[in-house]
Structure formats: C-alpha cells, structure tokens
Amino acid sequence: MADAGYLTIGKVVKRLQAQYPDLSVSKVRYLEDEGLLTPSRTPGGYRLYSSRDVKRLETILYLQKNRFLPLSVIKEELDGGGAPGIAGTDPAAYPESVCDDEETREKLHPLEKAPELLGVSISFVRDLANNGIVSLRRSPQGRELVDGHDFRLIRCAEALRRFGIEPRNLRQYVNAANRETAMFEQALSVLGPRQGEFTDEQRAQYSQAFEQILHLTDSLRDDLIRRTFADVLRRQAPKDQ
C-alpha cells in the first residue's frame, strides 16, 4: 500500500513539522490512542497514513493551534457530531481571523475594542494583565492599549477559561517562562558575539538553535505531563471486582 501514496508515521511528521514544529511521532500516536486517527496497518503492524488521514491530522492540529478546541470537541465534529463553530474537515475552510494577520499583530489596539476583535470582555483582558499574561500600554492620550502580538495569548486564555482555568491559575506559566528564558539565554550564550552586534550569520544560527531548544523543551514538558496524567487516569479507572 505504501506504493499507492501511503506514508509512514515518520514521513507524516516530517511533512507537517514545518507548519507545526512541535509535532512528534509520540503526539500522533497519542491522537491515535484518543480515537482521532485510524491509519491502516501493514501485516507487520506498521502504520500507513493515506492522504485523507494526513488531511484529517492537519485539521486537528489547526483547530488545536488556532481555535484552542479540546480534542473531544474536535473528534465529535470530525466524526459528524456537528459541534458548533466548526464546518467541514479541511483547514482551508477555517480562514485566519482578522486577529491573526500580520498587520494586526504589529499594531497596538485600544482596549475597548477587545470585545469586537477577540470576543472577550475588557475586564478579562485587564485580569490577564494583572496576572502578568499580557501587558497593557498607554497612549499619549491615556488610552489603554493591547499589543497585537498578545492576541493569541488572550484567545488561548479564553479557551482555557472554559475548563475553569482562570488568569490567576496561569501565573505559574509566566514564572516558568521567565526561568526558561534565563536558561535558554545561558545555553545560547556560546553562539552570541564576543563583542558588538550579531552578524547576519550569527543571528540566523542563534535563532535556529533557539527554535530547536524550544521544540525540545516543549516536547519534554508535554511528555512529562502526559505521563503524570496517565497515572491520574489509572487511579481513577474502575477496579476489577
């Protein structure tokens, strides 16, 4: 079947990693364990993904990354459950919000436009700012402004709130980000210039190394949390009578 256009799991990951850098073989297997993917199998047990399987995986990753939807909702819709707010199974059917375009990200936006641009309340954005998740600035006229680069953080925090995770619960991630930034800076110091500014080549090497470390630490964190949560699920499983 491989000659008919089927891909191994490794090739699927390699194909999609440019768009989803944190994608790994273990994550694809996890999605399979959760029932979101059902690839074919060779007689020897190797997974083979059709173009339809790859398209479904790409949709799942898109909805996780850009819509912050839980896997249960994604699975319900992809399997025909008709969850609101999702239509079809093609990422092309999910145009990027006005909040995602480059021009929007590069601007400061009046706080009072948050409900219009992001669908969240002004008080919610202030709560995020009070907990260090985003930063509010002031215009010369005294208006509170939101950085467009923070829009993704705000939408992610709003999605987490549906699970009862409030801005105050996210402060631990701010603290962790500060610690990891210091660790990254120390690890990458050998790539920095001894004096003066970066050359273009040094800057490219530094950026590439940063992305590699970020990807590795994200994967490590994800796997540790999954392992720990697997213990939680085992403790909650019904015991045999």
Q: pLDDT tier at 195 (50, 70, 90 boundaries)?
A: low
At residue 70, does pLDDT exceed 70?
A: yes
pLDDT tens track for 103-138: 788 899 999 998 888 888 999 999 999 999 999 999
Helix axes of 200-236 and 171-188: crossing angle, nearest 10 degrees:
140
What is the pLDDT of the chain when averaged over all its residues?
Answer: 84
Q: Can you list the domains of the chain with their CATH numbers?
A: 2-93 (1.10.1660.10), 96-168 (1.10.1660.10)
Q: How far apart are CA 36 and CA 78, in angstroms?
A: 8
Q: How far apart are CA 200 and CA 150, in angstroms?
A: 27
pLDDT tens track for 162-172: 889 999 999 99
Helix axes of 9-16 and 51-67: crossing angle, nearest 10 degrees:
50
pLDDT at 83: 43
pLDDT at 239: 66
- Does this model's pTM top 0.75? no
Q: pLDDT tier at 74 (50, 70, 90 boundaries)?
A: confident
Per-residue tokens: 214: 């970020």
Q: pLDDT tier at 79 (50, 70, 90 boundaries)?
A: confident
* Helix or strand run (H / E) with residue 10: helix 9-16
Q: What are the residues whose beta carbons fall under 8 Å from the beta carbon of 74, sequence distance 6 or more? A: 36, 59, 60, 63, 64, 83, 86
**What distance, in Å, lies between the first and last C-alpha atoms of the chain?**
44
Q: How far apart are CA 119 and CA 27, in angstroms?
A: 30
